[in-house]
Amino acid sequence: MSETDSFRERTVQANEGLERVRRERRLHAVALGIAVSIGLVAASVHWFGLVLGGALLGLVSPTLARGVGYAITFGALVLGVFVLTIGSSVWPVLEMTPIVYVTVASAFGLPVFGSLVRGLG
């Protein structure tokens, strides 16, 4: 068996596993939980975690539209966690209007951008 055939076989197996995760409810729920957890941890370290979280949610979603919906929900969750972590400083932060717009737009836009990976396959 050549290296190319081995690669194709692994790719087919990965695609079959991903389709199974997209179809079966229980596996889908577990995959969503794992994707959100990884995304939250990654986003707490670097802004690219927002893109990663959206991409992971997009990969396990059955359709592109649901992937985008999951990404918007993930963005809202990340924004909510951010508000909770800044605590009593929330009002001074909200008064910094130009940068708050960037924060909110990033919280929603970057995961949606990542979720578009679903449209590639």
pTM score of the predicted model:
0.86
Radius of gyration of the chain (CA): 17
Mean pLDDT to the nearest integer, 81-98: 88
Task: Write down the mean pLDDT value for the chain.
Answer: 92
Sequence-distant contacts of 115-118: CB under 8 A, at least 24 apart: 115/54, 115/55, 115/57, 115/58, 115/61, 115/64, 115/67, 115/68, 115/70, 115/71, 116/58, 116/64, 116/67, 116/68, 117/55, 117/58, 117/59, 118/58, 118/59, 118/61, 118/63, 118/64, 118/67
For residue 1, the model assigns a pLDDT of 58
CA atoms of 42 and 44, how far apart (whole Å): 5
Tens-digit pLDDT profile for residues 22-61 = 999 999 999 999 999 999 999 999 999 999 999 999 999 9
For residue 121, the model assigns a pLDDT of 63
